[in-house]
Amino acid sequence: MISPSESPSRPQPKLVVLGDSGVFGWGDPLEGGWCERLRRHWMEFSGGPVVYNLGVRGDGLERLAARLEAEVGRRGELRRQLPQGILIGIGLNDSARVGRADGRHQLDAEGFLFGLQQLLQRASQLAPVHVIGLTPVEEAAMPYAEVLWYSLEQVHRYERLLEEACLEADVPFLPLLESLLADPDWPQWLGSDGLHLNSDGHGQVYERIRRWPALLDWAGLQPLAGASVTAA
């Protein structure tokens, strides 16, 4: 845990969060998703970071890359200033196969890795970048919207590509998939579509992100001694 009273008074850094429906908060009508929870949590701190949720439902890597500079460039709040941080959550939609369980990917692995490498290079020129991993899917509920097939095998594969690109670019990366799957209750954290997190699922992701040491360090918020950095 972090004590709000321990946060120093300082200019508020701005964090732009880019991604898909997971970032947007779809599936969590109670609290608006993990990003909204983080925004409200950081508002408790004097000088805490300001969070801009720029998640777009259905987004994949290519669509996110197309809006990167425009989105970041319009959130500086003051003239000629840019946000001080970028958090990216993308890749789940790219991993889906189209039309059938063995169909083509929305974005194949080679294209995903190359595009991600280019995205991280561009984003890092704007502000410090952090990247989060992917969340599980329930294969028995597929296909999503009668056309997209998501599988745990491919979600694993694309999260590994995320980690590989982040290591190459020296960008902090928070894997999510294995820690979520380690809990036998993980299917209960998904909605009936087998793809989107429900309120409990968003809560699980939020707990991991708000305790992430790399992001806390960026935010200037240090955890209390002995505090766990993983969700219970």
List domains and CATH numbers for the chain.
11-219 (3.40.50.1110)
Q: Which residue carries 């059938």 as its tokens?
A: 100
pLDDT value for 211: 95
pLDDT value for 82: 87
pLDDT value for 5: 41
Give the mean model confidence (pLDDT) for residues 43-56.
93
pLDDT value for 223: 63
Position 47 confidence tier, pLDDT thresholds 50, 70, 90: confident
pLDDT value for 39: 97
Residue 207 backbone phi and psi in degrees, to 5: -60, -35
Position 87 confidence tier, pLDDT thresholds 50, 70, 90: very high
> Per the structure block, which two tokens stand in for 188?
């209960």
pLDDT value for 10: 57
Position 76 confidence tier, pLDDT thresholds 50, 70, 90: confident
Distances (CA, A) of 222 to 48, 204, 227: 12, 20, 10
Share of the chain above pLDDT 70, in %: 90
Position 79 confidence tier, pLDDT thresholds 50, 70, 90: low
Give the mean model confidence (pLDDT) for residues 109-134.
98
Between 9 and 81, whose confidence is greater?
81
What is the average pLDDT score of the chain? 91
Between 228 and 168, whose confidence is greater?
168
Q: Which residues, 6+ apart, have CB-to-CB distance to 81 below 8 Å?
A: none
Burial class of residue 175, CB neighbours in 10 A (0-12, 13-18, 19+): middle
pLDDT value for 191: 97
